[in-house]
Structure 1
Amino acid sequence: MRKPDQHQHWTESLFDSVYALYETAREYQLAHQAAQITASTVDFDRRRTHPGRITLTGRSGTSEPHGRAQRILHRLYHALETDTRRHFEEAALLYASGTAWAVRAVLNGEHPAHVAFQTTTRGDLVPPSLEIPSLDTWAGGPALGAAYTALGRCMQAAEYGEDLGGQEYISDHEATQMHTALDIARGTPTAAFAYGLLAQRALDFALLEPRRAREREIALARATAQSDQPTP
Structure 2
Amino acid sequence: MPSALVERVHGLAELDDLVVGCRACPRLVAWREEAARVKRRAFQGQDYWARPIPGFGPADARLVLVGLAPAAHGGNRTGRIFTGDPSGDLLYASLHRLGLASQPHSTWRNDGLELFGVRITDPVRCAPPENRPTNAERDTCRPWIVRELEYLRPTVRAVVALGGFAWQALLPALGAAGWQIPRPRPRFGHGAHAALPATDGGPALHLHGCFHVSPRNTYTGRLTPAMVDDLLRTAAATAGLNPTRPPDDPSD
TM-score range, shorter chain: under 0.3
Give TM-score, length-normalised by structure 1.
0.23
Q: Which has the larger radius of gyration?
A: 1
The structure, 1 or 2, with the larger RCO (C-alpha pairs under 8 Å, 6+ apart) is 1
More helix by share: 1
